[in-house]
Chain A
């Protein structure tokens, strides 16, 4: 995973709640077995609508997405996070996220930032004219036009993982002895190799 520290870029505003992962990347694109190349299918159906927010020319180089509560609800498809990242987004800011989406995003270095609804609204207003924001994960703050500073909370371990771009499987494998010890003291509940074929 590529480390993330800060980004200064245009912020796109998608002022809707409960944007589900079916909208972010529809099912017909989940048949691919690759991990890349999903950006062109991001919000595939909505992108066909002429007035869809993300089609605005000034958002072409946006790296930050500002959106409503419960973003990424529904299906566990990590393809949603892959599509947002592949499209160019590095940060998503919302009042809340679907749990699985939020985890998926962090696993690939797409930074999901939770801010109270009024703070997200403030940021949305601040960038209404196509202004840029700076999201600094190290300093845990979003800065914008007219000396706007919005601090945010971020769970320390997850923040460190993102800042360093850590491979969490490698981290877990460093604890292999503990896993083996657990397996020795806890009998397996099932044996799928013994199931009827």
Chain B
């Protein structure tokens, strides 16, 4: 058999039919659902008199617009949308982890937590950060509401085969530098549209040494440079994470699953349509300065000068970004003060992220002019963090400790920035207005966000540790 990439292997195993001159019809192993992108899809089913073909391959949760403070949903529109999800799940028989169930959370945090995001699967969700699940060696990608309806009705999707790319992270990651810094640096290098049309496999020694939580951070941001999906071949780290989780295979099935999963790798002689290398051996913590994730520099760096850009379009974009962000060319990143700190989102709100941030803030105090927020990725993460006493470390330092949800990553709930407020955020998008109209977002790792909360400005988390 011809040599294949991991992606090609999974793709070939999921083609239901590939008619001439038409897209392939791809089978979907798992469909994740949330309240924001599903109501119109369920309504479409109702109008056409269709059913959900495989509710047993679907699971829903409430994450995007749930409030993270205790109490009821006071926003009537949000409540209506959450009620619609509950009613739709009941009517169509789809399992739902509702707020208060104890297992709810950000859809991309609970899938892995439940052990239902597994190697070799096809996973879709009406959310662009579905690429997160690719960390398990799955083909996972975001879809729109029309496609959500298509999957609900048929458990398949017509798909054009994407191109393949491999990104090799070479070298050993320095201490204090995180997966978030790796992916931000890669996006800075490749550009915000560098991945459009590709499924990307992340590989190399620096990837192999990452935990599952960190691998999820890398794959999560695949969409931020336009990639259709991002994936990492499964290995012992993956299997150890999955073993014993409620949705993972158990008993004799576990052994059979392992045999299959171990076969999921890219052949050594397989070729990609594009290859990129990112050397991480001298990587420093990264901070975005602009209004898309490609606009990123090391924490020791400076805000760029539009005059240094030859291309007029690029120069305009940089100028527009600096105006929006309220930054002057040449300003040192370390001199930028922050008003808010957000530790959360499907990018960086898993237990490891919270442990890292807690280690930075332990025994210290949030800067008096900063309001800082920790929003665990799921009810499960929140419980585990509390069992480990992390909540006490955060609250003693002056952080607010909240309930699980997407929260300030996109500000669909009450957690938003005010116009002009500047935030160090562990989320994934620094677009204009993303965290609230006029809000200014700087994307960083959990350690750097925690360090910025203490210092009141951007600072290398390593330096905070030394000063203590």
Contact = CB atoms under 8 A, between A and B. Distances in A.
Interface of A: 16-18, 20, 22-23, 26-28, 30-35, 45, 68-70, 73-78, 81, 96-101, 103-104, 107-108, 155-157, 168-169, 172-173, 175-176, 178-179, 182-183, 186, 188-193, 195-197
B196 interface: yes
B101 interface: yes
A100 to B, nearest CB: 6
Given A26-B433, A96-B193, A195 B247 contact: yes
B147 A189 contact: no
A169 B50 contact: yes
Given A103-B144, A195-B59, A168 B150 contact: yes
A125 to B, nearest CB: 15
Interface stretch (B77-85, B177-185, B388-396): B77-85
A195 to B, nearest CB: 6
Interface string B420-443: 000000000101111001000000
A179 B27 CA distance: 8
B50 A190 contact: no
A121 to B, nearest CB: 10
A179 B154 contact: yes
Interface in B37-72: 37, 39-40, 43, 48, 50, 53-59, 64-65
Contact of B27 (A81, A182, A197): A182
14 contacts: A23-B432, A31-B412, A33-B40, A70-B192, A76-B144, A97-B196, A100-B144, A100-B223, A104-B145, A169-B154, A172-B158, A178-B16, A190-B247, A195-B246
Contact of A182 (B16, B128, B145): B16
Contacts of B437: 26, 45
B75 A31 contact: yes
A70 B193 contact: yes
B32 to A, nearest CB: 10
Contacts of B143: 76, 100, 103
Contact of B144 (A22, A34, A70, A78): A78
A22 B412 CA distance: 12
Given A76-B127, A76-B143, A18 B55 contact: no
A192 B223 CA distance: 26
Contacts of B59: 192, 195
Contacts of A99: 162, 196-197, 226, 228
A193 B30 contact: no
Contacts, number: 196
Contact of B153 (A30, A75, A97, A169): A169
B327 interface: no
B217 interface: no
A122 B57 CA distance: 49
Interface stretch (B113-121, B270-278, B338-346, B361-369): B113-121
B196 A192 contact: no
A103 B64 CA distance: 23
Nearest to B118: A189
B217 to A, nearest CB: 18
B146 A18 contact: no
B124 to A, nearest CB: 10
B144 A168 contact: no
Interface residues of B, number: 81
Contacts of B114: 195
Interface in B119-143: 120-121, 126-128, 142-143
A196 B197 contact: no
Given A27-B412, A168-B150, A189-B121, A73 B226 contact: yes
Given A33-B40, A70-B196, A195-B116, 18 more contacts: A16-B317, A27-B411, A45-B433, A68-B313, A75-B128, A76-B143, A96-B196, A100-B223, A101-B144, A169-B50, A172-B153, A179-B27, A186-B27, A188-B29, A192-B58, A195-B247, A197-B95, A197-B101
Given A33-B43, A157-B21, A188-B56, A22 B226 contact: no
B146 A188 contact: no
A23 B154 contact: no
A193 B56 contact: yes
A156 B153 CA distance: 25
Contacts of A173: 153-154
Contact of B158 (A23, A45, A168): A168
B328 interface: no
Contacts of B103: 196-197
A183 B193 CA distance: 36
B190 to A, nearest CB: 13
Contacts of A33: 39-40, 43, 80-81, 84
- A-B complex: 10 closest residue pairs judged by Cβ atoms: A107-B146, A104-B144, A33-B39, A78-B144, A70-B193, A31-B77, A78-B145, A76-B128, A76-B142, A192-B59
Contacts of A32: 77, 81
